[in-house]
Structure 1
Amino acid sequence: MRIRCPYCGERDNGEFSYLGDAAPVRPDGMEASPQAMHDYVYLRDNRAGEIRELWYHGAGCRAWLVVTRDTRTHAIGDVAPARDVAKARTETSRAATPAGSASHAR
């Protein structure tokens, strides 16, 4: 399997480390219930088809990537820097937050 790194070009998957599913969103540790944290850490869907996964390019540019891969064929679709995906997720989340709602100071 070959992964197209946005920084280094196409590389063998041996240069990368697989982390897992990129879909779960970590609950706020200060506000989340123990059950919500348990579900986040231990419960994952194992579905067939296209999924988004986290990969680390340790033998190359050391970037974290979100790879869209078909689990039935191992065909690689889109590959994007994880920070771009996280930034888009944050912007979407902020846009969905109603105006005037309480926010946490960080």
Structure 2
Amino acid sequence: MLHIHCPYCNETLPEAEFAHAGEAHVARPETPSEVSDEAWRDFLFIRENVRGLTFERWRHIHGCGRFFNAVRHTVTDRFLTTYKAGEPRPDLDKLQEADQ
């Protein structure tokens, strides 16, 4: 079972407490009515799906209910860090150095 740290509650809890909410840092078009159908499709459905470190959104559904971001390795399912929504992305190079 995965254990995930909620940066708002400051607790590390089992995965069942949380819901995955997709890729993090996906910018919504400022004027959706002016975006082409193809660009709108890409915004809604096309994601990176990388093998390795990825930025994800999670929600603490059985706790504070808030959304937060996480850096997770998709092969090992290991979480390197979690951080509050709205905070900038952490530097992956520094995270990997600290992890070794």
2:28 corresponds to 1:10: no
**Equivalent-residue separation in structure 2 for 1:57 and 1:19 (angstroms):** 10
Question: What secondary structure does 2:69 align onto?
Answer: strand
Kindly provide the amino acid, as one letter, of the partner of residue 7 in structure 1: Y
TM-score for the superposition, normalised by structure 1? 0.73
The answer to whether the 8 Å contact 1:19/1:56 transfers is: yes
**Which of 1 and 2 has greater Rg?**
1
Identity %: 31
Q: CA deviation at 1:18?
A: 0.6
Mapped contact 1:66–1:81 kept (Cα < 8 A) = yes
Q: 1:42 to 1:71 in 2, by over 3 A?
A: same
Structure-1 separation of matches of 2:52 and 2:86:
24
Instruction: Give 1:84 shift.
Output: 2.7
Q: Which moved more, 1:55-64 or 1:29-38?
A: 29-38
1:40 aligns with 2:43: yes
Residue aligning to 1:58: 61
Q: Is 1:72 the counterpart of 2:71 in the alignment?
A: no
**Residues 27, 36 of structure 1: 8 Å contact kept:** no
Residue aligning to 1:27: 29
Stretches of structure 2 that go unaligned for 5 or more consecutive residues are: 90-100
Give 1:49's match in structure 2, choosing from 46, 52, 66: 52
Give unmatched runs, 5+ long, in structure 1.
87-106
- Displaced runs of 4+ in structure 1, greater than 4 A? none
**Matched positions, count:** 86
